[in-house]
Amino acid sequence: MANFGRVMGAMGILAGFLMPTSRSDWGWRTSLLAGMVSAPALFWLVSGQSVTVQVPVSSAAMIIGGLIVGVGATYGGGGTSGHGVCGIARLSPRSIVATVVFMIAAVVTVYVTRHIFGTGISSGIGGAL
């Protein structure tokens, strides 16, 4: 924000990388994405421990979820990182409303998957959640 005057949202950065408007715009996006991808490798080199991420859903569910998030971020003018982190920090009313909608959707989704369908995250990792 200080250097470019833009909100740093992951979806916007990725979209600009995939469909660049200029060579210089593509360059900083490539650098940032390379840093995001290489950070786990650097962590492993420094600590000797691998980064473990458990995702207790199928690949199909991840792809469908990713597509839904992508469509929502496109129509919503950004995703959780742009609105929730940067937008709220700027006291943007639009971002505050968007973040409240994200949170309500998350609560409803968890309630429906856990209590109505009886599935969800907790069934995938031994009931820890």
Rounded Cα distance between 84 and 96, Å, is: 7
State the helix-helix crossing angle for 10-18 and 59-75, rounded to 10 degrees: 90
Residue type, 77: G
pLDDT digits (tens, 9 = 90+) for 58-67: 888 888 888 8
What is the pLDDT, as a whole number, of residue 7?
66
pTM: 0.60
pLDDT digits (tens, 9 = 90+) for 20-36: 888 878 888 888 899 98
pLDDT digits (tens, 9 = 90+) for 86-101: 888 888 899 899 899 9
R_g of the chain, CA atoms, integer Å: 18
